[in-house]
Structure 1
Amino acid sequence: MSYKSILIDQLNACYNDKSWFIPLHEILIDLDATQAAGENESEQSIWSIVNHLIYWNEKWLERYNDEHVELDSSINNEDTFYLNRDAINDVEWKNTLQRLETVFHSWNRALEESDDLKLTKEIPSYFYAPWWGVVSNLCIHNAYHIGQIMLLKKQLRSIG
């Protein structure tokens, strides 16, 4: 088994393959914009967490595809949990879901087109971590937030 096949399996388990937990696509499919934007007591919403996942998956994918791209060290991680309160509608929610699907499919394509040499290459500006480790940790990050989203959805269902 190769790094590539393991990472593709991890990404798919996060987004669309039912495995140890319900995949993100299935969790989100029946939510409307109002439900997705509903906040809990810590002022987090499903939509803001999805935006956070999109942000980090897009940034790391951009860097994976072009290693000359550096991560913006000035970004405040809390800012990646944004939600535009003036654009809470089903059209914008569908656009957000499309971006999420696109980034997961793009990661799949990038990994499928990679060889193990790329995945073992170290990133000097990121603690000399190998790409396989970075992508694996990105999947763990995704799974962590998928758990949050599932809990928020359960809370939403118990209230409604």
Structure 2
Amino acid sequence: MSIKLVLLDQLTACHHDKSWFVPLDEMLRDVTATQALSLNDEGQSIWRLVNHLTFWNETWLDRFIKGEVVMDNSIDNDETFIINPSQVSEEDWQKSIAHVGATFSRWIQAVEESDDAKLGMTIPSYFNAPWWNVISNLCIHNAYHIGQIMMLRKKVRGEMI
């Protein structure tokens, strides 16, 4: 089995292929904007987590496509969770769901179109890590937050998944 197939398996498991855990697209299905905005005791919400995932998946996808990583130490991770208060309608929530889904689809396409040489290239500005390792860890990051979304969904919808 190739590294590419493993990465594609991880990306699809996070996005839409129900296997070891319920994927993000299923977690977000039938969640309303009001439910997505509901905060837990730690001040986290489904919508905030979706914004965070979108930010980091897009940031690393852009780096992967460009083939260069310029580390931006000015990024405040807390700001990646922020929701624009003027954009909290049901329509805006559906746009957020579509946006994160499209980002996963773009990642899947980018990996499908990559060869083993690109996936094995190291990133000097990022601990000399190979791209396959960064993508794999991005999937772990996604899975972690998808688990948080699952717990929040259970709470706001009063359901068992």
Shift of 1:59: 0.2
Runs of 4+ in 1 over 2 A off after TM superposition: none
Residue 127 of structure 1 corresponds to 127
Shift of 1:71: 3.5
Shift of 1:73: 1.4
Matched, 1:155 2:152: no
Shift of 1:56: 0.2
The count of aligned residue pairs is 159
Residue 73 of structure 1 corresponds to 73
Query: Given residue 64 of structure 1, which amino acid in structure 2 is its aligned partner?
Result: F
Residue 141 of structure 1 corresponds to 141
Match of 2:19, SS?
coil
Residue 34 of structure 1 corresponds to 34
**What is the identity percentage for the equivalent residue pairs of Structure 1 and Structure 2?**
53
Q: Any unmatched runs of 5+ in structure 2?
A: none
Q: Any unmatched runs of 5+ in structure 1?
A: none
TM-score in terms of structure 1 length = 0.96
Shift of 1:87: 1.6
TM-score in terms of structure 2 length = 0.95
Q: Alignment RMSD, CA only? A: 1.2
Shift of 1:69: 4.7
Greater mean deviation of Cα atoms: 96-105 or 61-70: 61-70
Greater mean deviation of Cα atoms: 33-42 or 47-56: 33-42
Residue 45 of structure 2 corresponds to 45
